[in-house]
Structure 1
Amino acid sequence: MHKVFISGLPKVELHLHIEGSLEPELMFKLAKRNNVDIPFNSPEEVAQAYKFDSLQSFLDIYYQGANVLIHEQDFFDLTWEYLLRCKQDNVIHTEIFFDPQTHTDRGIAFDTVINGIDKALKQAKQQLNISSHLIMSFLRHLDEDSAFNTLEQAKPYQDKIIAVGLDSSELGNPPEKFERIFQQAIKQGYLTVAHAGEEGPASYISDALNLLSISRIDHGVRCIDDKTLLDKLISQQIPLTVCPLSNVKLCVFNDMTQHNIVELLRMGVCVTINSDDPAYFGGYMTSNFLSLAQAHEMNLKEIAQFTYNAIQASFINDAEKARLNKTTYEYVSRFID
């Protein structure tokens, strides 16, 4: 019953790195198309390398994989393949991160990256009826100057980008490092999110809220360590975009039964389920829902709440939220009286 319900449940994804949806088969195809050397002989060998013991061990191979992305068509193909998976998983709205610095530092034009992604998103709206927003992430292991340079490069494309975010290595790169860039981004009209409390402590979540003025926390599972913070998240309904399979794959939790997302849901935190870097972490949206439901006893109402939370936490307007809520409610009411 849960499997059937989850499979058909409308879903909203708010934490997806488009570069992290680069499947081994596409990596190989693009490496061949663009004459890029990669240190693997087959897609199977790539998949074998996807065994990580930390966030950093993942990032090392993630940046290596991104080297095959060179032309606008590559970014289109990458994004389109992800959107086809969205259709398969009944994802009706997605808010996608992209990392311009990963590409501009390799000499790829900002224009090439964003236009390829944007064309795929527009096509998905027309052909797949999937709505979307694009979030530009700053890489926190790079310096503030690099982030300011990226913000400047984004100016001509501001109509294509709804928010800025902060990702990459959390430890040793606290939120205060990016306080000025976030202030500047807010002045320019961007919404703001940031990764915090995945590997970093609960204080990184508080600092991201206070110093970066973010409206949504990416990951945030360490909030459980700080009662005052937890109370604030519940009372203000500040959303967490949690990534269950990613958290287990990167050893934030030893296994899914130890994951705290269901506990947080029951406490009244606005938690959502997301896939993060699905090509590397073994599953897109439906897989994340199923993996969680297999490890934790949940009723259908609780499972559906993750979608309602994600709609509420999304950056779509109120009319669109009402429409997606109605779509979800009509589906859920077929299973729950």
Structure 2
Amino acid sequence: MKEFIQSLPKVELHLHIEGTLEPELMFELAKRNKVDIPFNSVTEVRDAYNFHNLQSFLDIYFQGANVLIHEQDFFELTWAYLLRCKEDNVLHTEVFFDPQAHTERGISFDTVINGIHRALVKAATELNISSKLIMCFLRHLDEVSAFETLAQAQTHKDKIIAVGLDSTEIGNPAGKFERVFNQALEQGFLTVAHAGEEGAASNIYEALNLLKITRIDHGVRCTDDNELVKQLVTERTPLTVCPLSNIKLKVFERMEQHNIVSLLRKGVCVTINSDDPAYFGGYMTDNFLAVNNALPMNKTEIGQFTLNAIEASFISQSEKQRLTIATQSYIDQHQ
């Protein structure tokens, strides 16, 4: 099964590019950019990746982002992730970036997006990996900051497919950003949002109803509300679930307790993703393997995660059809 999963075509829909900053690159950029970081070795950094909740992760996540200063830094960060995609046979990825994490410390929006975009363009031609870019608002910041970020995105609408909402749910309800999302929708952006990870199932309803999102990032708390699960099944509303992240952040204590496979078997359009793989210990193949090792599935079920991700992606119908045929062919050949 390991070989089947390794070579399975994959599509990633929930990946924070800042969360792919491996300790080795963090040290390299800190030295190059003369940025002080509170670690003396790669080992110290990895030891610090022992989180007990989302906030403890976010504290070190934003600390690590301080080494990203120049366009080339963002290019190298993104390119390193895309090389991992190639190893894991990820054919398409939809990448989150947090402009406010950088503009708040004086890095220009243009610097951030141009570096990321340059790597994505290179991957399309050299690695045959397609991509979309999603700009996230940090929900712990205020509405004014989100509106300013949306304004900064206007000259880059050709690069950004959607807006999202991330950072801590607690104390930051979806309604705080309803007006920003309405404006983004009017401007032609698609919308997604983190909901139902550390927060309650009611947060998922709010994100769907107030922000008009087309897919839910995380959403694992949906199982606290049977009617919500039925709605997700009926409406084919995708969940971009991040299994290893959920364990690292104690959303579930053990992978055996995770609800991702039961959601799949109930007919929810659930997908597997890596979230912040440098911090949570695994890219796409690692996540697939971790789920199957704890909650064994047959090959058809494993392959369904990719088919769901293709369905949930923001690519064209013709491209969805092409990837679906390729994935289904792979599954059929290995039965």
Q: Please give the range of the TM-score, normalised by the shorter of the 2 chains.
A: over 0.9
Distance between the aligned counterparts of 1:167 and 1:85, measured in 2? Answer: 23
Distance between the aligned counterparts of 2:41 and 2:76, measured in 1? Answer: 20
Is 1:286 aligned to residue 273 of structure 2?
no
Question: Displacement of 1:229 after TM fit?
Answer: 1.0
Alignment match, 1:138: 137
Alignment match, 2:30: 31
Distance between the aligned counterparts of 2:187 and 2:288, measured in 1? Answer: 36
For residue 292 of structure 1, give the secondary structure of its aligned residue in structure 2: helix
Question: Displacement of 1:228 after TM fit?
Answer: 1.5
Could you give the per-residue CA deviations for residues 164-203 of structure 1, whole angstroms, max 9, x where no partner exists? 0000011110111110000000000000000000000000
* TM-score w.r.t. length of structure 2: 1.00
Question: Displacement of 1:250 after TM fit?
Answer: 0.1
Could you give the per-residue CA deviations for residues 200-249 of structure 1, whole angstroms, max 9, x where no partner exists? 00000000000000000000000001112111100000000000000000
Question: Displacement of 1:329 after TM fit?
Answer: 1.5
Amino acid at match of 2:81: Y
For residue 12 of structure 2, give the secondary structure of its aligned residue in structure 1: strand
Question: What are the residue-to-residue correspondences of 1:74-223 with 2, within 5 Å?
Answer: 74-223=73-222
For residue 173 of structure 1, give the secondary structure of its aligned residue in structure 2: coil
For residue 160 of structure 1, give the secondary structure of its aligned residue in structure 2: coil
Distance between the aligned counterparts of 1:330 and 1:228, measured in 2? Answer: 35
Question: Displacement of 1:326 after TM fit?
Answer: 1.2
Question: Displacement of 1:333 after TM fit?
Answer: 1.5
Distance between the aligned counterparts of 1:45 and 1:323, measured in 2? Answer: 44
Corresponding residue pairs, total? 335
The 4+ residue runs of structure 1 with deviation greater than 4 A are none
Distance between the aligned counterparts of 1:169 and 1:221, measured in 2? Answer: 15
Alignment match, 1:244: 243
Could you give the per-residue CA deviations for residues 280-325 of structure 1, whole angstroms, max 9, x where no partner exists? 0000000000000000121110000000000000000100000101
Alignment match, 2:309: 310
For residue 68 of structure 1, give the secondary structure of its aligned residue in structure 2: coil
Distance between the aligned counterparts of 1:175 and 1:96, measured in 2? Answer: 21
Distance between the aligned counterparts of 2:109 and 2:130, measured in 1? Answer: 23
Question: Displacement of 1:111 after TM fit?
Answer: 0.3
Question: Displacement of 1:84 after TM fit?
Answer: 0.1
Is 1:260 aligned to residue 256 of structure 2?
no
For residue 198 of structure 1, give the secondary structure of its aligned residue in structure 2: coil
Question: Displacement of 1:334 after TM fit?
Answer: 1.4
Alignment match, 2:233: 234
Unmatched segments (≥5 aa) in structure 2:
none
Q: Percent identity?
A: 71
Distance between the aligned counterparts of 1:61 and 1:143, measured in 2? Answer: 21
* TM-score w.r.t. length of structure 1: 0.99
Alignment match, 1:5: 4
For residue 333 of structure 1, give the secondary structure of its aligned residue in structure 2: helix
Distance between the aligned counterparts of 1:229 and 1:179, measured in 2? Answer: 21
Distance between the aligned counterparts of 1:30 and 1:13, measured in 2? Answer: 26
Distance between the aligned counterparts of 2:21 and 2:72, measured in 1? Answer: 14
Question: Displacement of 1:330 after TM fit?
Answer: 1.9
For residue 158 of structure 2, give the secondary structure of its aligned residue in structure 1: helix
Unmatched segments (≥5 aa) in structure 1:
none
